[in-house]
Amino acid sequence: MTIPDRNALLDRIVRWEEARARGQAPTPEEFCADAPGLLEAFRRQVEKLGQVAWLDEPIVDPTTSPGPAAVVTTGSDLPRTMADRYRLDALIGEGGFGRVFRGFDTWLERPVAVKVPRVDRPVTGAEVDQCRVEARKVARLRHPGIVPVYDVGREGPTCFIVSEWIDGEDLARRLRIDRPSYRETARIVAEVAEALHHAHERGFIHRDIKPSNILLDAAFRAYLTDFGIAVAEAYLLEDVDAAGTLPYMAPEQLGGGLVDRRADLYALGVVLYELLTGRGPFRDSDPVALREQIVGGEPPPPRSIEAGVPEGLERACLRCLAKGPEDRYLSADRLAADLRNFLLALNSIGGG
């Protein structure tokens, strides 16, 4: 199956699942009427997902009801296979919501990344629901700079999400080894900003932009991953819950203000600051003190830490880090445009 066919198939599966969630009863024939060549593959995928009925069933919370054993406890029992298809080969990262494994799709014979909710404690129904929500959201975001979702499934009391394997490293690891050049920094942040703009325009914000959620492939191209706590922007008009990672959280996330796409721009500004200076704009080992700095303090200008930082990159960084959302960039594509213009100017004078 070609990549366009696979993308068309995924689109139909997502729309079919959404129709069922609305109480409709679509048939595979209806969803493949304009592409009969996809019908058999569509039927097979629907069957593999258990007729996607598990997406609509009430969730049984394993903390109160007996159920099968958890799927993965540690990385020490690898490799193992999930859903008779995805082999988990190595644990490569973990966060508050889940663990990410380097895996292998034994059907299509390709490497994949597999995300599984944390199971060093009982998996709650709410976490399984979040797994579903993440898959639905990310499957709608089609952009070269956003890691695409391939599949979502369920095994035992938990679910898993399968996405493209990016052969490379995350930006956090790269920063521990060596900071990119100013040219590379501008390009990386511009690529992430362009991916963010795509998500923002479709009603989603990320709320956890940080170096470990930015992947770099072998060609050093940047990809944004982990929309695990991304939410529809409309819901944030009432939801000001401070989800995210403290050093990258915008003042309004900590102060009870309205959280919108400009919070992502603030977080990306923190990432840019780290790329330019090798440190964060605010630093304190005490979370309470760090929170106070983010809400009320002003970051030292990057050029006061690294004299060689280009003025254009400093201006873009400090604009992202403005305390008031109204003083930041209005949209991520405007940040990307400034960074692209910086690169054009740099190319014209042959700078590095």
Q: Beta strands 168-170 and 204-205: pairing type?
A: unpaired
Q: What is the pLDDT of residue 321?
A: 98
Shared-domain flag, residues 311 and 180: yes
Give me the number of domains the chain comprises.
2
Question: Does residue 302 register a pLDDT over 60?
Answer: yes
Q: Cα separation of 52 and 266, whole Å?
A: 38
Q: What is the pLDDT of residue 9?
A: 74
Average pLDDT over residues 17-44: 78
Query: Which of 78-82, 94-98, 280-284 has the largest mean confidence?
Result: 280-284
> Tell me: the pLDDT tens digits for 81-115?
988 899 999 998 876 667 889 999 999 899 999 98
Shared-domain flag, residues 132 and 174: no
Question: Does residue 41 register a pLDDT over 70?
Answer: yes
Shared-domain flag, residues 118 and 172: no
Predicted TM-score (pTM) of this structure: 0.74
208 is known as an active-site residue = yes
Shared-domain flag, residues 242 and 330: yes
Residue whose entry in the numeric block shows the structure tokens 């590095």? 352
Query: Which tops the pLDDT comparison, 322 or 205?
Result: 322
Shared-domain flag, residues 11 and 143: yes
Cis before 79? omega within 30: yes
Q: What is the pLDDT of residue 35?
A: 87
Q: Of 142, 164, 186, which residue constitutes the final position of a domain?
A: 164
Q: Which positions make up the binding site for ATP?
A: 115
> Tell me: the pLDDT tens digits for 209-253?
999 999 999 999 999 987 655 554 544 444 444 456 889 999 998
DSSP 73: -
- 109: domain range? 3-164
Question: Does residue 297 register a pLDDT over 50?
Answer: yes
Shared-domain flag, residues 256 and 117: no
Q: Of 145, 164, 183, which residue constitutes the final position of a domain?
A: 164
Shared-domain flag, residues 333 and 184: yes
Shared-domain flag, residues 34 and 154: yes
> Tell me: the pLDDT tens digits for 117-135?
766 555 566 666 666 666 7
Instruction: Indicate the angle between helix axes 182-201 and 311-320, nearest 10 degrees.
Output: 30
> Tell me: the pLDDT tens digits for 134-182?
677 777 788 899 988 888 777 776 778 888 999 999 999 999 999 999 9
Q: Which positions make up the binding site?
A: 115
Q: What is the pLDDT of residue 314?
A: 97
In the predicted model, what is the mean pLDDT of the chain? 81
Q: Of 164, 199, 232, which residue constitutes the final position of a domain?
A: 164
Active-site residue (options: 151, 208, 264, 333)? 208
Shared-domain flag, residues 142 and 253: no
Q: Cα separation of 20 and 5, whole Å?
A: 23
Q: Cα separation of 213 and 31, whole Å?
A: 34
Shared-domain flag, residues 157 and 238: no
Q: Cα separation of 212 and 92, whole Å?
A: 11
